[in-house]
Amino acid sequence: MFIEINNLIDVKQTERINGWFAGISESTVEGSFLVHHFLSHSFKSSTPVCFVALSQSFGHYNVISQKFGTNLSTQKETNKLVFVEGLKLLGNTCCKDCDKGDNSVDDKSVLINLLQSISTSYKDLKEKNCCSPTIIIDNISVLIALGFSTKDVITFCHYLHEVIHEDIGEKGCLVLYANNGKHNGDEQMKIVWNWMCHNCTVTMEVSGLPTGYCKDVHGEIAVKHRHSLTKPGKERRMQYKLTDKNIILFAAGMSSAVL
């Protein structure tokens, strides 16, 4: 968990972020370190997690989590984590439809099956831990790459948001990670990211430096809190450098490399 990231988004180290809808995007540089941050923070704040992997394996996330002092296998064994292998689940659904002689797989039914699996896992975690879990999806862009329509992906995200808000009282948290399509000209992902910007509690956009690669400054993070009835909207932009187990944030032009 990166303490400086928590400071950037105004969250205390062990604070539960109930009711949050966080959108993470990347452009030209990797932003997955923020996914690992939210995963680690959830366990530090005693919040169970339903993690939906669409881009990497369980082993990948477990190796990185251990750098932050968290063993995902232990979290699974103690009912603090449900790890949903999203691609495998999508593939199994398609294969079942083909086995029935239906060569034209219905995209909606495939995503509905995935949504139902996530919803069931979320409810089981909530019942076993007596608190609302966090749902993390890495990476929603994969659905577009697999050929799902923009409308279906946005509808899927909308109903995920409904899952964490369906009960009266304590709400869960939803974290979606995506490529925003700005660098590679993916118009479909631009639409999905724009929808997330209008609906997320907070968005975190990771991008490379406008001036190009620098070994001492790895990129920029733009954080936007959406305006609400209780809190005014605000924006912050910081540059960062990643190390093996930490992140260093500084204002633009304030890195020691350029001073």
Domain ranges of the chain: 18-204
Nearest-angstrom CA–CA distance, 212 and 23: 25
153 confidence band (pLDDT: 50, 70, 90): very high
Tell me which CATH homologous superfamily contains domain 18-204: P-loop containing nucleotide triphosphate hydrolases (3.40.50.300)
pLDDT at 34: 93
Nearest-angstrom CA–CA distance, 55 and 176: 13
Mean pLDDT of 93-112: 60
Residue 105 has pLDDT above 50, yes or no: no
Tens-digit pLDDT profile for residues 222-249: 999 986 656 667 888 988 888 877 888 8
pLDDT at 226: 81
Tens-digit pLDDT profile for residues 154-199: 999 999 999 998 877 789 999 999 988 777 778 999 999 999 999 9
Residue 13 has pLDDT above 70, yes or no: yes
Mean pLDDT of 12-23: 89
3-state secondary structure 179-190: ECCCCCCCHHHH
Comparing 97 with 244, which gets the higher pLDDT? 244
Helices (H), the chain: 3-8, 33-44, 58-67, 72-77, 86-99, 107-129, 141-145, 150-165, 187-199
pLDDT at 172: 93
